[in-house]
Amino acid sequence: MHIDKPAQTVLNWLDQNQSQFTAMADQIWRTPELAWKEFQASRLQADYLENQGFSITWDVGGSNTAFVAEWGKNKPVLGFIGEYDALPGLSQKKQPTKQAIEDDGPGHGCGHNLLGTGAVASAVAVQKWLQSNGALGTVRYYGCPAEEKGGGKVFMARAGAFDDLDAALNFHPGSMSMPSKGGAVGVNAIYYRFFGRSAHAGGAPHRGRSALDAVELMNVGVNYLREHVKDDVRMHYIITEGGKAPNIVPEEAEVYYYIRAAKPDYLAEVVERVHKVAQGAAMMTETTFKTRFEDGYSAVLSNHYLADMQYQAMQLLGPITFTQDEIDFAQEINDAFPGTNSDYIDAAIEYLKPPPEFVAVLDEYRDQPLVGRNFPSLDERIIGTGSTDVGDVSQIVPVSMLSTTCFSTGCPGHSWGEVATSGMSIGHKGMMHAAKVMALTAIELYADPKHLVQIHQEFESQTRGKPYVSPIPADLETPRYEPDGD
């Protein structure tokens, strides 16, 4: 890969138009919207893309905040995957100390205002390249709702939205710039609601059958189950309802579970075992229960060839350069959280276990709160125990998850500190760096078909005999809301 004159023209276009993309990202940052309700963000991006000549299809997968923007014709078809939902309770001013704009309001604590906008910028830049070169190919932007809670891409995948893609590109804001070769576990989110019989807890407890006892016994059983599952399995829960008063035997009680595993078939096995624990708890307490499946995500498959292409693009671009003001801003955020810059570097080294030459490089950042350098995929052997609905895209089409530096090193995920940098120049620089990496990679894919051959050979090897099966029930309806209403 190299930056020839047409590729340099694309990079120049992104530089010249950076202000409109930072404005888009900031507008989404200022008006954060929760899952399935991203009406302003989705419309903002769709209107911009339509003005650029893309055709827009709404209601993809049944959500009225999901859309696909398409330009071009014929193969190859490349997709840019965007998100724009925020998180509850993370309202934060654009400053390095904690202060909400709105008490308990939402905020972009995962940088999705940057994620979606960076993908939009890259898609349009690639469109300009295809136009100027008279090249055949189709570029799509996928506006995906509800990554944080609900799994918009899962419903879009069930509707076949990704089936004819040749490859998909996306990025996620992070604390290091690195394409991923690692994976992530799948998840099922399930409510277990138990039904018993109410009674006076002091006067006639023998008449009651406690739904809360069933919930607690189920949780005890699952906690014993933890010893007998594979290492990648995670099971966590909250009790969402435990009764009305201590002197009333609870007639109804509910527990909400996240069950995670790296392989779809093993996830299904663990879910079945958890279900048997619930049956046992119901039997012991003479209660009954019902389940309500809320959402499910598939495990992430990373395409290594595609990741290597993205790293080649990163090497051509060079590192992100941060100003002293940005470094000071990031350091003040780090100072607000436990630990030091050095602690983050130690944790990264322990987690990634990089080769010695990259341990030395990471050591150089022990006194820095921002890492501007580009790294190759250091996570090849790692299965992350978080989950994302990008996993469902990756089971259908080759994907490489790209991370770029938009956050300070010591800032925890889903925190006010990430909201702060998502709304200012640190986040903007990471977003535009990602847009350039994805654009250069896509141009190379359009220009040289041999890359897609290699990418698909790897993908077919990963998925042979394991066709994609949606992790959600066929009758599960897509959540749907209306603006300014329920």
Q: What is the CATH number of the domain that holds 227?
A: 3.30.70.360
- 292 & 280 share domain: yes
Asked if the structure places residue 322 within a domain, the reply is: yes
Sheet order of strands, 137-144 included: 55-58, 67-73, 137-144, 77-83, 167-174, 399-405, 178-179
Query: What would the pLDDT profile of 305-324 be if each residue is shown by its tens digit?
Result: 999 999 999 999 999 999 99
- 334 & 456 share domain: yes
Asked if the structure places residue 205 within a domain, the reply is: yes
- 34 & 160 share domain: yes
Predicted local confidence at residue 386, as pLDDT: 86
Residue 97 belongs to what domain range? 5-184+299-463
- 265 & 197 share domain: yes
Domain with residue 442: its CATH number is 3.40.630.10
- 265 & 317 share domain: no
- 239, 271, 297: which is the final residue of a domain? 297
Asked if the structure places residue 474 within a domain, the reply is: no
pLDDT at 242 over 70: yes
Contact 436, 14 (CB under 8 A): yes
- 157 & 200 share domain: no
Q: What is the maximum span of the chain, computed from C-alpha positions, in angstroms?
A: 85
- 297, 332, 352: which is the final residue of a domain? 297
Predicted local confidence at residue 5, as pLDDT: 82
Predicted local confidence at residue 485, as pLDDT: 59
Secondary structure class of 369 (helix, strand, coil)? coil
Asked if the structure places residue 484 within a domain, the reply is: no
Radius of gyration of the chain (CA): 24
Residue 70: count of CB within 10 angstroms of its CB:
18
CA 180 – CA 460 distance, rounded (Å) = 19
Count: domains in the chain = 2
pLDDT at 247 over 70: yes
Asked if the structure places residue 469 within a domain, the reply is: no
Asked if the structure places residue 483 within a domain, the reply is: no
For residue 320, the 8-state DSSP code is P
**Between 218 and 486, whose confidence is greater?**
218
Asked if the structure places residue 470 within a domain, the reply is: no
Predicted local confidence at residue 56, as pLDDT: 98
Q: Predicted confidence band at 243 (pLDDT cuts at 50, 70, 90)?
A: very high
Alpha helices (H) in 64-133, listed in sequence order: 112-133
- 285 & 160 share domain: no
**Between 189 and 386, whose confidence is greater?**
189
- 290 & 324 share domain: no
- Across the chain, mean pLDDT equals 96
- 432 & 448 share domain: yes
Predicted local confidence at residue 486, as pLDDT: 54
User: How confident is the model over 207-234, as a mean pLDDT?
Assistant: 97
Structure tokens at 217: 């016994």
- 262, 277, 297: which is the final residue of a domain? 297
Residue with structure tokens 């066929």?
474
- 241 & 380 share domain: no
- 166 & 198 share domain: no
Query: What would the pLDDT profile of 324-362 be if each residue is shown by its tens digit?
Result: 999 999 999 999 999 888 999 999 999 999 999 999 999
- 43 & 88 share domain: yes
Asked if the structure places residue 120 within a domain, the reply is: yes
Query: What would the pLDDT profile of 75-126 be if each residue is shown by its tens digit?
Result: 999 999 999 999 999 999 999 999 999 999 999 999 999 999 999 999 999 9
